[in-house]
Amino acid sequence: MCNLRCVFCQNYDISRANRGSGTSPQRLAGMMIELQAMGCHNINFVLDGHGLAKRGMLVRHLVMPGGIAGTESIMRFLAEELSPDTYVNLMNQYYPAGRVSSSQFPEINRRITSTECQQALDAARAAGLWRFDQRDFW
C-alpha cells in the first residue's frame, strides 16, 4: 500500500490494496543492508519531497501536465536546500491512469508536451542544477 494516493497511479490496484505492514527505521535500515548483501545496487523510495537523504542519491521527478508537479519550486528546493550538485532525473513518461479520465481530473488527462519537457529542464537549469540523468527525457 502506498500512502501518497496519487489519482493517476499506474499501479492503482496494488497501491490502494491494504498490503504490507509498517516497520521501524532500524528494521528498514536492516532490510536495506540485507538487500545490499544480496547484491542489490539500487533501492527506490517514493517521497513527497520532505524526506530526502543527502548521500548517494538520484532524485527522480515526474513532470506533469500543466506544471502541476511544481517542477520549478522543487528544482529550487533541491538546488537551495540540498545542493546545486544534486543528481536529477526529470521523467517525461507520465500518462493518464488510475482514476484519471476526461470526466475526472481532466487537467491531467494527457501526456506532457515537448514544450513542457523543455520548460522543466529550463527550470532545473535556472535553479542552478546541472547534473542530469536524461536517459528517458528526450
Residues found near ligand SF4 in the complex (CB under 6 A): 2, 4-6, 9, 11, 15, 46
* Cβ nearer to ligand SF4, comparing 4 with 38: 4
What's the DSSP call for residue 136? T
* Cβ nearer to ligand SF4, comparing 4 with 37: 4
Q: How far is the CB of 122 from ligand SF4 (least distance, A)?
A: 25
At 103, list the grid cell.
470526466
Strand (E) or helix (H) holding 14:
helix 12-15
Q: What distance lies between CA 71 and its chain's CA centroid? A: 11
Q: How far is CA 26 from CA 48, 97, 110, in A?
A: 21, 35, 41
Q: How far is the CB of 62 from ligand SF4 (least distance, A)?
A: 8
Q: How far is the CB of 50 from ligand SF4 (least distance, A)?
A: 14
* Cβ nearer to ligand SF4, comparing 64 with 75: 64
